[in-house]
């Protein structure tokens, strides 16, 4: 198997389905880390004051199952910090949702790995952005210092020992991009079987810190060569998946080909895409089915088109993806 290049046109769009194909549920904005490239501006003190109650979360779970949404993810923040994480994961997985968990790995111990394995999730994605503690710590920080690379690596080992499918997400920065080959070797030995990577996404904190985080084009060329070599070396043993598009390229495509997916925020607001500030529904007022219909209509909003046109001229606007704007869907027509 050679290096896998993701294609924007490969996934279903709103034109293909009558329900969401994939729902990303951002269950909390609280996080144990304060990463310099975080899309959601998460952190230890950044929990939303109006996060969904347990009762409200159970209703969302029921509606996901009633709509028979095939794929989903639990993300954050750090989803393992949420008191209802295991309950939600079990309900969705038992109900037939092919579920992925996105974590920084810092909180995964033997007991957590065992409980995740028992639930039977499809996969756990551990985010690791450097092969040395020095580079990893530049990106992934805590209130008092830096996150532990060894804990993230141990998470891969513990989950793999429980037969959980582990994927690793690698966001390249100018400090860590040359460590990709070493990181691939390390995580494969620990049990990871998929590497997801691509160009650094210029959105959220990454957009705010772009000048000192973004790799050079020369670095990207060497990075791509390394990925191809490693894909050949690990053929049949490790999938290496590369996403070649920038945020702007993805937004331009999605304007006419919206993905059959959206983001549920911690407070129940429904965000059209993580990289845009637009809210199209509120699960405290709308059912998930209604949110799906509103999502489809929201792509016709002049505000969405204007935003995508503006970011093509000024990509720094992508730093404002968390300055939320509610789309007045009622004024739009099919």
Per-residue pLDDT at 17:
87
> Residue 143 has what pLDDT?
87
* Peptide bond preceding 263 in cis form (omega within 30 of 0): no
Q: Does domain 4-331 have CATH number 3.30.70.1520?
A: no
Residue closest to 274 by CA, chosen among 288, 283, 263: 263
How far apart, in whole angstroms, are the C-alpha atoms of residue 120 and residue 69? Answer: 17
**Edge-to-edge strand list for the sheet holding 261-264:** 4-5, 239-243, 194-198, 166-170, 123-127, 98-103, 71-75, 22-26, 261-264, 269-271, 278-282, 325-326
Alpha-carbon gap, residue 51 to 28, rounded angstroms: 7
Q: Identify each DSSP E strand in 175-247 by its residue range.
A: 194-198, 239-243
Whole-prediction pTM value?
0.95
Predicted confidence pLDDT, tens digits, the chain (334 residues): 589 999 988 889 998 888 999 999 999 999 999 999 999 999 999 999 999 999 999 999 999 999 999 999 999 999 999 999 999 999 999 999 999 999 999 999 999 999 999 999 999 999 999 999 999 999 999 988 899 999 999 999 999 999 999 999 999 999 999 999 999 999 999 999 999 999 999 999 999 999 999 999 999 999 999 999 999 999 999 999 999 999 999 999 999 999 999 999 999 999 999 999 999 999 999 999 999 999 999 999 999 999 999 999 999 999 999 999 999 888 776 5
What pLDDT is recorded for position 1? 55
The crossing angle, in degrees rounded to 10, of helices 54-66 and 85-94 is 20
Instruction: Show me where the domains of the chain are located.
Output: 4-331
pLDDT at 334: 54
Instruction: Write down the pLDDT at residue 329.
Output: 87
Q: What is the pLDDT of residue 77?
A: 95
Q: Please give the structure tokens belonging to residue 195.
A: 């590497």
> What angle do the packed helices 302-313 and 247-256 form, to 10 degrees?
150
What is the SS3 assignment for 319?
helix
């Amino acid at each position: 198997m050679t290096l896998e290049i993701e294609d924007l046109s490969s996934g279903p769009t709103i034109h293909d389905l009558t329900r969401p194909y994939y729902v990303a549920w951002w269950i909390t904005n609280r996080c144990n880390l304060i990463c310099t490239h975080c899309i959601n501006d998460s952190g230890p003190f950044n929990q939303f004051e109006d996060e969904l109650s347990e009762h409200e979360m159970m209703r969302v779970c029921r509606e996901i199952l009633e709509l028979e949404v095939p794929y989903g993810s639990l993300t954050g923040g750090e989803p393992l910090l949420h008191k209802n994480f295991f309950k939600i994961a079990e309900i969705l997985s038992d109900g037939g949702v092919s579920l992925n968990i996105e974590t920084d790995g810092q909180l995964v111990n033997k007991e957590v790995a065992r409980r995740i394995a028992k639930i039977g999730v499809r996969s756990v994605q551990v985010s690791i952005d450097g092969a040395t503690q020095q580079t990893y710590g530049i990106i992934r920080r805590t209130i008092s210092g830096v996150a532990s690379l060894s804990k993230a690596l141990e998470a891969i080992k513990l989950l793999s020992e429980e037969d959980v499918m582990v994927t690793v997400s690698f966001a390249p920065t100018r400090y860590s991009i040359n460590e990709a080959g070493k990181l691939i070797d390390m995580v494969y030995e620990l049990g990871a079987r998929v590497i997801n990577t691509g160009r650094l996404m210029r959105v959220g904190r990454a957009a705010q810190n772009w000048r000192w985080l973004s790799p050079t084009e020369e670095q990207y060329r060497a990075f791509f060569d390394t990925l191809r070599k490693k894909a050949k070396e690990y053929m049949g043993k490790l999938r290496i998946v590369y996403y070649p598009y920038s945020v702007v390229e993805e937004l331009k495509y999605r304007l006419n080909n919206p993905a059959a997916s959206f983001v549920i925020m911690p407070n129940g607001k429904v965000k059209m895409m993580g990289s845009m500030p637009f809210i199209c529904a509120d699960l405290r007022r709308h059912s998930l089915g209604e949110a799906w219909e509103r999502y489809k209509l929201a792509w016709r909003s002049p505000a969405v088109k204007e935003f995508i046109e503006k970011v093509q001229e000024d990509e720094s606007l992508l730093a404002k993806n968390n300055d939320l704007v509610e789309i007045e869907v009622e004024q739009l027509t099919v």
